[in-house]
Chain A
């Protein structure tokens, strides 16, 4: 055992010396490889964290949202609907929601206005999302004016700016009292944008949805799971778009890394011949070169992954922000909660480190099984 350890130490020493001797090639390889891992890991970490965030946010949202449809388009909920829903067995709580979009020509962006019936700001006061506050340069206590679709000018005092933690979904949000909402949009009294429902038993959500569809045939129930699935799809789609856009670059990097790894220089072949001639076994040579490949690929993997982690969780994925983040015109600025998925790391490892190890090993094996007498003729 002691002998084996001593032998491995010598191999490791020689491997490190070999790496140092071919500094330029190995540093180049390390850089390209790290960059490849960085790009892939950044996209994976970011979308995974976004999915996680969306799941967390939606966890507290209502199980079912009911919208009325007219000619296939979303229409207002007329009076009486809430009462009819309340009588359906299994529905625990119902509430009408008021929301709408407002285009702000000042920043050329759409805001989402939400009229609250509970915990609402006082009349004439609003709470705004962090993105909106940033773009309009307002803070608590400032006055914001909006010209409504009817042409009337409304001024609101900013009560508070919503916490930055929720910016992923509240960047463009304006919260105001029900009466202010109705006045601003000339919204008909007792009408709602949609209805939210709480279902006591999560197993019964689909049954309740079915009952709703039967009782109110002009309405469509939207389940929380479906919303979640939509978000997941959006992030999947965005991730796919980014990967598709980057695929050419990723492929180029991969080919370059493969080429560098799999090509043995004349000098390396000569060295293998010398080592074999002076008494190294084929296994020793392969082990040494495998150490070399693993050292490069593992270092690159770690460097790339750590850089991606810092990029995503400390710099809010600045490089992919425009494509991956948010679904409003106002890009949210927020720090994601770090989420690391073991399976994801394993997948990335499997598709980066292993191909590299194979790329290194094949030519080494081919060179090291040749007769050592070739070195005599060099």
Chain B
């Protein structure tokens, strides 16, 4: 569904503090499954997630969404794609304070200009499906962490996106709430959505719901990187050497 080819992403390019967050990522994201991006802090998980979600553009390389190259599209078109294809659940939830849960859920649909009644019904249905119907009029800052996350999920789903993107979804949740999130994840999967998330929480990464785990380190995919690790090369050479030693000695040809 999403194909990345030789993706590089630099921050402050050309300046003394230039930093390459991603260095040559090739990746295919399959539709209808949960893909987790995992890795230590600073490995480039979030940067990769923003590229996959069309929140930013790569410095080099190609991003194809359903075979369409979106890496060079202007911001206006990216916004359109983002609105129609992706729903975002941010690590800090990023809800607008001072607004009710219902208003927050409706926000991404405002630019679409849907009839108010229809939009309201849709938002209420999303909140009810996440057991938040009774909290719809509460201001988001009055909600608990788990409730805030569910509001953020409802907001991500309001435009019926094909792909849900979640950045460290369990980072601010305790075990019980994290398990609750995994249940929601299963439901999203049952609805046929593709889910992309970053996490280093074993509860998420090792879950049966997660079909693919993409491991990153220093802006590169770990699997690809391992082939060139000096330790691995040394190990291979050592194996070859010991195998050669184990071979029976060959008789030398008489030289005359």
Contact = CB atoms under 8 A, between A and B. Distances in A.
Interface in A360-378: 369, 371-373, 375-378
Interface residues of A, number: 35
Interface string B30-68: 000000000000000011011000011000000000000
A117 B159 CA distance: 90
A270 B90 CA distance: 13
Nearest to A6: B113
B146 interface: no
A51 B47 CA distance: 68
Interface in A241-283: 267, 270-271, 273-282
Interface in B68-102: 75-76, 79, 82-83, 88, 90-92, 94-99
A274 B89 CA distance: 11
Interface residues of B, number: 34
A10 interface: yes
Contact of B56 (A2, A5, A10, A371): A371
A376 B167 contact: yes
B107 interface: yes
Interface in B212-253: none
B46 A17 contact: no
A21 B97 contact: yes
Contact of B94 (A3, A6, A277, A281): A277
Contact of B79 (A7, A273, A276): A276
B205 to A, nearest CB: 20
B119 to A, nearest CB: 8
Given A6-B116, A373-B50, A375-B94, A14 B110 contact: yes
Counting chain A CB atoms within 10 Å of each CB, the highest count among B94, B116, B155 belongs to B94
A10 B155 CA distance: 16
A377 B107 contact: no
A270 B98 CA distance: 14
A279 B75 contact: no
A230 B88 CA distance: 71
B94 A378 contact: yes
Contacts of A275: 107
A347 B211 CA distance: 67
Contacts of B75: 282, 369
A373 B94 contact: no
B79 A279 contact: yes
A4 B113 contact: yes
A203 B161 CA distance: 81
Interface string A1-26: 01111110111001001001100000
A47 B91 CA distance: 61
A33 B155 CA distance: 37
A53 interface: no
Given A278-B88, A375-B94, A6 B115 contact: yes
B114 interface: yes
B159 A279 contact: yes
Interface in A115-174: none
Contacts of A274: 94-96
B124 interface: no
Nearest to A22: B98
Nearest to A369: B75
Nearest to A280: B111
B56 A280 contact: no
Contacts of A267: 97
A21 B94 contact: no
A271 B108 CA distance: 13
B55 A17 contact: no
A371 B55 contact: yes
A372 B75 CA distance: 10
A7 B94 contact: no
A4 B114 CA distance: 10
B6 to A, nearest CB: 20
Contacts of A5: 113
A284 interface: yes
B158 to A, nearest CB: 9
B114 A278 contact: no
Contacts of B49: 376
Contact of A278 (B50, B56, B107): B107
Nearest to B84: A279
25 contacts: A3-B113, A6-B114, A7-B113, A10-B110, A10-B111, A10-B113, A21-B98, A267-B97, A270-B94, A274-B95, A278-B83, A278-B108, A279-B83, A280-B79, A281-B76, A281-B111, A282-B75, A373-B50, A373-B55, A375-B90, A375-B94, A376-B46, A376-B49, A376-B50, A376-B90
Interface of A: 2-7, 9-11, 14, 17, 20-21, 267, 270-271, 273-282, 284, 369, 371-373, 375-378
Interface of B: 46-47, 49-50, 55-56, 75-76, 79, 82-83, 88, 90-92, 94-99, 103, 107-108, 110-116, 155, 159, 167
Given A6-B114, A270-B94, A275-B107, 19 more contacts: A6-B115, A6-B116, A7-B112, A10-B110, A10-B111, A11-B110, A17-B103, A274-B96, A277-B88, A279-B83, A280-B79, A280-B108, A280-B110, A280-B111, A282-B76, A372-B82, A376-B46, A378-B92, A378-B94
The 6 closest A-B pairs by CB, nearest first: A279-B83, A21-B98, A7-B113, A6-B113, A10-B110, A373-B50
